[in-house]
Amino acid sequence: MRRALVLMLLIVGIGAAALSAPISGYVEVHTWFDKGGLDWFDMLIEVDYTISGVVFGATAVFDYNSFEHLSFTADGPLGPLDVHSALVFDPALSAQTPTFLSWASAATLDLGGVSLFGLAAVQVVDTSPLAYGVGARVGLSGVVGDLRILAASYFNMFEDGASLYYYGYDWLTSHLVYDLCGEWLWWDLVEDDECSLAWDSAMVYVDFPFACLDVSVWLGMNCEGFGGIRAIFNGIETGLSWLAIDELWIDFEEDAKYVRLTWDVVLADLFCITPYFSLEGAGYTVIDGLTLNALLLEYSYNGVTVKAGEIFDNTWLPGYLSSGPMWGFTLDGTIAQDWVYGWPVLDFDCVYSYQYDEFIGIWLDGDSCCGGTFDVSVISFFVTSVANGWTTYPAIFDWAETVMAIDVVIGTNSVLGLSLSVYDKGLFWFGISVGFSF
C-alpha cells in the first residue's frame, strides 16, 4: 500500500508539473473475503493528463502482498502523426522491483486516403535469463474505389497480417497493453532476442467486392522467398435460406495446397431467444447434421431484465465442422468464449465458470441519491450434467451457486459495490469494491 501511495503521488506530481495539463484519474479497490478471512485484494490506480491533445497515462495494480503491474501510455496527435506508445513493467519478475517488459510505439500518417503506419518495439523475449529483442514494421493501407489494399513489411517481428486485416490497425495499437479479465497483458511483437532489425517477411492483402461475393488475396514473402498465396471468398450463398458459406480459404504454398471453408447458419430475427447452432460432419464439405449447442433468453421491461441460458455442449466452434474452445456464462448473463479459432475476441466477455451449464438471473437498474444510479443483479447457476469437472450432482434442483451484486453510483465520480456468493454449504465469498474518479 505504501508503494501505491508513493507511486500515485509521483505520477500526480509529474502531471502537475505540466502546468496547462488537465489531470484526471481513477482509483478502484476490490476486496474479497471467504470463510477464512481476506482471500484477495486488488487495487487499481489510473492517472491521465493531457498536453496539446496527447493523453499521457499511468496504470498501477497491487494485490495484498505484491506489486502486480505498472504501465505508461501516450496517445494522440503529434504534428501530422497519430501516435500510440506503451511502456510496460512486471514487478513480479524480480522481487517486486519493476522489470522492463515492453516498449512499443506506433504512428500513422494519412495522405490522401492512404494511411502509412509504422511500429517499433523493444521487448523481453525470454525471462530465464532475461533477454530482449528489437523489432519493427512499416506498411500502408488504403481504399481505391472498391479496392482495399493492406501491405506491411516486418523486421524481427511476428507477421500478424490476419489481425491487421480483420481487426484493423487501431485495434492493434489499443492492445499494446490491455486488461483481460483482471490480468494485464502486453502484445507479443518481437520474434527473437536480436538488436539488429533483420528483415523477416512481408505481406500484401488485396480485397475486392464482386456482385455475388467478396474476394481477398493475400501474398506472403519471407527470407526463403515465396511465403504463400491465400485466396479468401466471403459471403457465398448456397441457395438455402438458412445456410451460407461465410468464408472459403484456398492456400497455395510452395509444395502444397489447402482448402478450408467456414459455414454460417442464417437465422431469422428472433424476439427474445437466441439459439447457438453448429454443424456436424466430416471434413469441410459433408454436413451430417445441425446441433443445438445452447439457448439464451433475454427480456427487458421497465428497467427489469430477465435472462436465462442453457449450454448443451460447451466445446462447439460456430461454422466449423470440428470441436472448438470452451464456452461458459458470464456474470452479465451472456454466453462467451475466450478465443475464436485462434484470434482474440474483439469484445471480450469474462466467463465466470466453465463448469456451469444453466443459469437464470434478474437485473434491475434505476436512480439513486445525489444524481447517481444503481444496478442490482441476482444470478443462479445450475449443473445439469456431471460433465465439466463435476463428479456428483450439486444440491436440490441441480443448483450450484448464486451470485448477488449491487453497484451504487454516488454523484458523478464515486461508485460503491457489494457482492456475495452462496452455495450449498453456505457463504462462498463476499466482496466490497470502491472506486472514484477525479
Phi, psi of 169 (to 5 degrees): -70, -35
Query: Lowest mean pLDDT: which of 1-5, 23-27, 75-79, 230-234?
Result: 1-5
Cell 497515462 identifies what position? 57
Q: What is the pLDDT of residue 68?
A: 80
What pLDDT shows up at residue 377?
A: 94
CA torsion 163-167-173-177 (nearest 10°) is -80
Cβ atoms of residues 202 and 223 within 8 Å: no
Does residue 342 carry a pLDDT above 50?
no
Local confidence band at 322 (pLDDT 50, 70, 90 cut-offs): low
Instruction: Grade residue 336 by pLDDT with cuts at 50, 70 and 90.
Output: confident
Report yes or no on 81 lying in a domain: no
Number of domains in the chain: 1
Structural domain span for residue 299: 276-438
* 294 neighbors 317 (Cβ within 8 angstroms): no
Q: Which own/partner contact pairs does 265-273 have at CB distance under 8 Å and 24+ positions apart?
A: 265/290, 265/318, 265/319, 266/241, 266/242, 267/242, 272/297, 272/298, 272/299, 273/297
Percent of the chain exceeding pLDDT 90 equals: 20
Spatial separation of the C-alpha atoms in residues 325 and 194, rounded to whole Å: 34
Does residue 123 lie in a domain region? Answer: no
- Provide the pLDDT for residue 134: 93
Residue 111 lies in a domain: no
DSSP class per residue in 19-54: TTPPEEEEEEEEEEEETTEEEEEEEEEEEEEEETTE
Residue 63 counted as domain residue: no
Residue 21: predicted pLDDT: 53
- Is residue 337, in this structure, part of any structural domain at all? yes
Give the count of alpha carbons within 13 A of 196, CB side only.
Answer: 3
Name which of 229-233, 348-352, 405-409 the model is least confident about: 348-352
In a domain, 192, yes or no: no
The winner for highest mean pLDDT among 74-88, 152-166, 256-270 is 74-88
In a domain, 2, yes or no: no
- CB contact at 8 A, 103 and 81: no
Residue 351 lies in a domain: yes
